């Protein structure tokens, strides 16, 4: 689904002209006046998990084809920051072709402290493109100096859980297994093309992301002001400053008006996206909050959702089935306090990190609603107030909500089992236990309520 709105705001145009001269001194003001005279826009594109029964290596989804079109039409530059690459040859080939025809192509990807990527084909980006860098060295520095001292515990550790203890509302939360630091995550998924277009959102460049299967939402924007700020963020990472080492754009207000829509941009961790963006918007809600999120472990945003419910706001949350098994998940806390939470049973994941507030304000980005997402990882979050795409997004959310049986308002389906559609025949490890489809005993057993 796609929604496009032209930009006619003169004030934002003047801001872009002035800032453009400062940051691009080699370009004349006339260049910016010419390019910004063309209409800017915001497009919101959703990918429904209800349309796919397995991951796809092709680029037939709208979120992928729009990105592919951008890359194919690039004339001068492509700068990208992606978590990794898996099974998306069309995107890789388009980047290689762009480089071959003279487009300057640069990228940053995620690596852990072992210099490994989560997605298996990430090394192909590094091999085929001349300028791709990672956060590996930054992760080593963080690992070397990371304090391992435990804070005083003010709550009881849940039985059988050995991970770092988190206390919230007098209850202890922890992962079942110990967690060893493997590096903070460069978790962005954005492309900047010709210093004018930005493609960004929750979709990884993978067979389950841009290939389909997972629920995702991306934003495609034409705006030199927005592109310039993404460029500043990209340059920091490309030059070796990742995670908490980033200093530029710290707590900066990055706002622009596009056709009556106020677009605000937050980079993590220096932008404090939760405290300066998401939480204030939730506090402003008067009628409704619809949340679609992969991980929801952030203590303060969970508390704000409960407070919104208590003041009469309708609050609905769709959570991923695998994420519901996370020892830090707050979905039971939300349920205990009257918030309606459905855990998906699609097979594909609820991979979005978004919300619709009062049926008119959108939150879209790469940041899971977690403490690490806000304070450690490299992420980007957009808040679009008075979004023209809000009615389309509301319909999309309602379709997803209606597809999940009411029984999962009270309980959670197992992510790889006969409880979750297609999960036993999709060829992937949905619950990350290293067992696929029929190898998993839950796929060989007819489950009874």
Report the C-alpha gap between 429 and 404 in whole angstroms: 21
Q: Is 358 among the catalytic positions?
A: yes
The dihedrals phi and psi of 354, each to the nearest 5 degrees, come to: -150, 170
Indicate which residue of 290, 358, 378, 440 is catalytic.
Answer: 358
Burial class (CB in 10 A: 0-12, 13-18, 19+), 22: exposed
Report the C-alpha gap between 406 and 274 in whole angstroms: 30
DSSP 274: I
Indicate which residue of 298, 349, 351, 376 is catalytic.
Answer: 351
Are 202 and 216 contacting, i.e. CB atoms less than 8 angstroms apart? yes
Token output for 364: 């879209």
- Strands 261-268, 205-206: parallel, antiparallel or unpaired by DSSP? unpaired
Q: Is 353 among the catalytic positions?
A: yes
Report the C-alpha gap between 104 and 95 in whole angstroms: 10
CA distances from 25 to 17, 94, 172, 223 (A): 11, 30, 54, 19
For the chain, give the number of residues: 449
Token output for 373: 């997402």
Indicate which residue of 353, 360, 361, 376 is catalytic.
Answer: 353
Beta-bridge partners for 43:
4, 220
Report the C-alpha gap between 42 and 221 in whole angstroms: 5
Q: Is 406 among the catalytic positions?
A: no
Report the C-alpha gap between 21 and 433 in whole angstroms: 53
Question: Which residues are catalytically annotated?
Answer: 351, 353, 358
């Amino acid at each position: 689904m796609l929604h496009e709105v032209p930009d006619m705001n003169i004030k934002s145009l003047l801001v872009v002209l002035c800032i453009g001269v400062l940051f691009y001194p080699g370009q004349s003001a006339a260049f910016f006046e010419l390019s910004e005279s063309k209409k800017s826009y915001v497009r919101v594109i959703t990918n429904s998990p209800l349309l796919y029964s397995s991951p796809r290596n092709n680029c037939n989804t709208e979120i992928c084809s729009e990105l592919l079109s951008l890359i194919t039409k690039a004339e001068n530059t492509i700068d990208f920051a992606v978590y990794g690459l898996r099974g998306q040859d069309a995107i890789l080939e388009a980047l290689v072709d762009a480089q071959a025809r003279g487009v300057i192509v640069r990228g940053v990807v995620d690596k852990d402290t072992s210099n490994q990527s989560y997605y298996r084909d990430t090394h192909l980006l590094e091999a085929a493109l001349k300028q791709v860098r990672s956060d590996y060295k930054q992760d080593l520095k963080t690992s070397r100096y990371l304090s391992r001292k435990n804070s005083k515990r003010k709550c009881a550790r849940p039985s059988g859980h050995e991970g770092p203890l988190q206390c919230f509302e007098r209850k202890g939360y922890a992962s079942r297994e110990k967690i060893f630091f493997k590096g903070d995550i460069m978790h962005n998924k954005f492309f900047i093309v010709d210093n004018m277009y930005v493609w960004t959102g929750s979709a990884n460049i993978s067979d389950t992301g841009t290939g389909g299967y997972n629920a995702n939402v991306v934003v495609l924007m034409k705006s030199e002001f927005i592109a310039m700020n993404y460029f500043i963020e990209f340059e920091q990472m490309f030059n070796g400053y990742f995670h908490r080492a980033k200093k530029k754009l710290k707590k900066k207000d990055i706002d622009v008006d596009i056709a009556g829509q106020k677009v605000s941009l937050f980079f993590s961790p220096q932008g404090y996206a939760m405290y300066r963006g998401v939480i204030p918007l939730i506090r402003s809600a008067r009628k409704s909050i619809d949340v679609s999120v992969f991980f929801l472990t952030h203590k303060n945003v969970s508390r704000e959702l409960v407070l919104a419910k208590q003041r009469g706001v309708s609050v609905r949350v769709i959570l991923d089935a695998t994420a519901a098994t996370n020892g830090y998940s707050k979905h039971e806390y939300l349920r205990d306090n009257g918030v309606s939470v459905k855990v998906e049973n699609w097979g594909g994941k609820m991979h979005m990190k978004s919300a619709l507030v009062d049926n008119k304000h959108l939150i879209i980005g790469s940041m899971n609603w977690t403490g690490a997402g806000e304070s450690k990882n490299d992420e980007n979050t957009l808040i679009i107030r008075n979004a023209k795409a809000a009615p389309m997004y509301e319909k999309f959310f309602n379709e997803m909500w209606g597809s999940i049986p009411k029984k999962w308002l009270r309980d959670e389906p197992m992510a790889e089992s006969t409880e979750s559609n297609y999960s036993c025949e999709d060829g992937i490890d949905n619950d990350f236990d290293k067992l696929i489809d029929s190898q998993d005993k839950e796929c060989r057993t007819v489950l009874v309520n």
